[in-house]
Amino acid sequence: MVGWKRLILEQMTESTERLRPLRDCGVPVKGWIRAIREALGMSGTQFARRLSVSGSRVVTLEKAELDGGVTIRSMRKAAEALDCVFVYGVVPRSNLEEAIRLQAQIVARQRLKRSGHTMLLEGQQLSEEAMRKAFDATVEELIRTMPTDLWDAPE
Domains of the chain: 24-81 (1.10.260), 96-145 (no CATH)
Report the residue count for the chain: 155
pLDDT at 5: 84
Instruction: Give yes or no for a contact between 155 and 106, defined as CB atoms under 8 angstroms apart.
Output: yes
Segment 16-34 shows an average pLDDT of 90
Instruction: Give yes or no for a contact between 106 and 135, defined as CB atoms under 8 angstroms apart.
Output: no
Separation between Cα atoms, residue 97 and residue 107, nearest integer Å: 15
Report residue 109: phi and psi, to 5°: -60, -45
Segment 105-121 shows an average pLDDT of 75
Residue 74: partners with Cβ closer than 8 Å, 6 or more residues away: 61, 64
The fraction of the chain above a pLDDT of 90, given in percent, is: 59
For the whole model, what pTM was predicted?
A: 0.71
> Band of the pLDDT at 23, cuts 50, 70, 90?
confident
Q: Does the pLDDT of residue 64 top 80, yes or no? A: yes
> Band of the pLDDT at 113, cuts 50, 70, 90?
confident
